[in-house]
A and B are shown apart, each in its own frame.
Chain A
Amino acid sequence: MITLENISKTYQTKDGTVEALKDVSLTIEKGDIFGIIGMSGAGKSTLVRCLNFLERPTSGTVTVDGKDLSQLSQKELRLERRGIGMIFQHFNLLMQKSVIDNICFPLKISGVNKQAAKKRAEELLEIVGLTQKANAYPIQLSGGQKQRVAIARALATNPKILLCDEATSALDPQTTKSILALLKEINERYGITIVIITHEMAVVREICNRVGIIGDGKLVEHGAVIDVFSHPKSDAARELVLRNTGENRELVETLETQNCVRIVFSENSSFEPVIANMVLKFGMPVNILKADTKNVSGIARGEMILGLPEDEKLADDMINYLKERNLAVEEVSGYVG
């Protein structure tokens, strides 16, 4: 559906050349909800703008639905963009236009006549659940409602792809959940491929099936969400997975000083009382710093952070013990900041 090959993007600024993206290659399949996650400034916003050529990559090719975007003329590119919807962190609605006119806007650009556009806009308002607000102006709406209007607008021209640039970052957790649920529904009902840019692991966990992690302009890791969540390989991935758990200050401090591991339980490892057995076997207590169950792509996963004994030999034995029981174990000391 979308293929990126060796995408690089450099900017010239007063302070010299900035490399926003370095040699990123990625494939997004039809029907995916693909998360692109990274810290702010990692280059993820630039990356998503390369997907519809709002930003032209300095080198590399972007192929959408078999078309190499760099080969298209300006006019062809504009036509192609009608098949790629986009929503934004700050919604970017036309403030001087009513909700229904905002949704009609892309249709008018595409030359749809007024009546057909209005009819389509009404259908979309129904999908996003805002039929009552057709004649309201954006200023009268809450953040979540504005994003719903933006989603309706992005879907107006029946795109095959929906790009979401930090679409939930300006929303509260409750609203975020409802917007994500709407996106998931759209993906399932209409088979629209969704690309989600975010800095929140929770968003990726909630709805994405695949994820790419961007660190310092590079794609450091990508794959199924469940794999990356359970076995993060790169530092950037581990940091993101953990940062999400380490919201409280004390935990972060403990992680910095203690010998800690993070373990993830899969479905079949929850039967045996692993931790209790380990404590009995080694005769040394471990400190459970955090334990949680998380919904990863619809599957419940247990996550636990353990503080191990100071004794390195003993700690290593414990880690091996856990690994033998098929748990994903990784050390988390030292790099959470």
Chain B
Amino acid sequence: MWDKAVIDMIIAGIGETLYMTLMSTFMGYVFGLPLGVALAVTDKSGIKPNIVVYKILDFVSNIIRSVPFLILLIVLIPFTRTIVGKSYGSTATIVPLVVAATPFIGRMIESSLKEVDSGVVEAAQSMGAGTFTIIFRVLLVEARTSILVGATIAIGTILGYSAMAGTVGGGGLGDIAIRYGYHRYQADIMIVTVLLLIVLVQIFQTIGMFISNKLDRRRR
């Protein structure tokens, strides 16, 4: 049963999982980073408080985050179809993954930026720094370690979501685990895919922590 076909399938599964996870994380940050910055900046303790903008972003983020991913996956099928052209396969799965990841990433960015010492921001203001200078040269720089730690968490979570997407034909290791382990009672294949998922999460975690520690100047 561990013939070439199964091994090829698992290798392809790893490829699909990596593709979905990395693409979704990347796209998640493309949307989530500005969202997080906007949340942190417009909050009442932020550098440009704007209660209306904050409340809208806050509300939308919470709504998306409240919907269980499996439901979101199904609800978004028409939307996915308009964007990708079909609603199954790895590429199609990226759409709901990005939608789910964006508010999640935004919240993590928001909390990372809020950890930045308000005194440092005040010092920058006293030097005549404008909002954009403070965002790009103070907040994002001072918070980079925290943001990278957040990214490793995000990538692990998105990997988990991508496995869930397997249930609706999303492809990847999750898809294999469900088809073989659940529908065909082939526990051995399921265990192998689960182990592979664990290994992937570990790798991402290790790399992420290594980079963030390397970049942290607050260590002697």
Which chain B positions have C-beta within 8 A of A79? Answer: 128
Residues on A with C-beta less than 8 A from B7 are none
B186 close to chain A: CB less than 8 A: no
Please tell me if the beta carbons of A82 and B128 are within 8 angstroms of each other in the complex.
yes
Chain B nearest Cβ from A278, distance in angstroms:
52
Q: How far is the CB of B116 from chain A (nearest CB, A)?
A: 9
Residues of chain B contacted by A150 (CB below 8 angstroms):
123
A-contacting residues, B11-59, CB 8 Å: none
CB contact between A52 and one of B126, B130, B141, B145 (< 8 Å): that residue:
B126
A52 to B126, CA, bound (A): 7
Chain B residues lying within 8 Å of A30, measured Cβ to Cβ, are none
Q: Are the CB atoms of A92 and B129 closer together than 8 Å? A: no
Tell me which residues across on chain A come within 8 A of B219, comparing CB atoms. Answer: 139
Contacts of B218 in A (CB 8 A): 95-96, 137, 139
B127 A88 Cβ-Cβ under 8 A = no
Listed stretches A105-113, A193-201, A209-217, A286-294; interface member: A105-113
Flag if A82 contacts B127 (CB, 8 Å).
yes
B184 an interface residue at 8 Å Cβ cutoff?
Answer: no
Does any Cβ of A come within 8 Å of B137's Cβ? yes
**Of B125, B127, B217, which is in contact with the most chain A CB atoms at under 10 Å from its CB?**
B127
Q: Which residues of B contact A81 (CB under 8 A)?
A: 125-128
Q: Which of B132-159 contact A (CB under 8 A)?
A: 133, 137-138, 141-142, 144-145
- Indicate whether A93 reaches chain B with its CB closer than 8 angstroms: yes
Q: Does B119 contact A (CB under 8 A)?
A: yes
Given A78-B128, A82-B128, A139-B218, A54 and B122 contact (CB-CB distance below 8 Å): yes
A95 & B123 in contact (Cβ 8 Å cutoff): no
- A157 on the B face (CB < 8 A): yes
B164 to chain A, nearest CB (A): 36
Pair B141/A97 contact, Cβ less than 8 Å: yes
CB within 8 Å of B: which of A38-81?
A: 52, 54, 74-75, 77-81
Q: Are B120 and A92 in contact (CB under 8 A)?
A: yes
Which listed residue, A75, A106, A140, touches B127 by the CB 8 Å rule?
Answer: A106
Tell me whether A86 is interfacial, beta carbon within 8 Å.
Answer: yes
Q: Is the CB of B127 within 8 A of A92?
A: no
Residues of B within 8 A of A163 (CB): 126
Q: Is A184 an interface position by the 8 A CB rule?
A: no
**For A82, what are the chain B residues with a Cβ–Cβ distance below 8 Å?**
127-128
Q: Which residues of B contact A308 (CB under 8 A)?
A: none
Q: B220 to A140, Cβ gap below 8 A?
A: yes
Query: What does the 1/0 interface line of A97-137 toward B look like (CB < 8 Å)?
Result: 11000000110111000000000000000000000000001
The answer, yes or no, to whether B117 is at the interface (CB within 8 Å) is yes
A86 touches B123 (CB 8 A): yes
CB-nearest residue of chain A relative to B121? A92
A94 at the interface (CB under 8 A from B): yes
Q: For the complex formed, measure the closest distance between the CB of B131 and the CB atoms of chain A, giving whole angstroms.
A: 9
Q: How far is the CA of A208 from the CA of B122 in the complex (A)?
A: 25
B122: contacting residue among A84, A88, A106, CB under 8 A: A88
Whole-angstrom CA separation of A108 from B122 in the bound complex: 17
Known: A97-B217, A139-B218. A54 touches B141 (CB 8 A): no
- B125 interface neighbour in A54, A80, A85, Cβ under 8 Å: A54
A139 B126 Cβ-Cβ under 8 A: no
Picked from A54, A96, A139, the residue with its CB within 8 Å of the CB of B142 is A96
Q: Which residues of A contact B125 (CB under 8 A)?
A: 54, 81
B217 with A137: CB separation less than 8 A: yes
A108 to B218, CA, bound (A): 23
Q: Which residues of A contact B144 (CB under 8 A)?
A: 96
| A231 at the binding interface (Cβ < 8 Å) | no
What are 15 A-B pairs with beta-carbon distances under 8 A? A52-B126, A54-B122, A77-B128, A81-B126, A82-B127, A88-B123, A92-B122, A92-B123, A95-B142, A95-B218, A96-B141, A96-B142, A138-B217, A139-B218, A140-B220
> What is the interface of chain B, defined by CB distance below 8 A to chain A?
117, 119-120, 122-130, 133, 137-138, 141-142, 144-145, 215-220
Excluding A86-B126, A94-B138, 11 further A-B contacts by CB distance (< 8 Å) are A54-B122, A81-B126, A81-B128, A90-B119, A92-B117, A92-B120, A92-B123, A95-B218, A110-B128, A139-B217, A153-B123
Which 7 pairs between the two chains have the least Cβ-Cβ distance? A92-B123, A81-B128, A86-B126, A92-B119, A78-B128, A106-B127, A137-B217
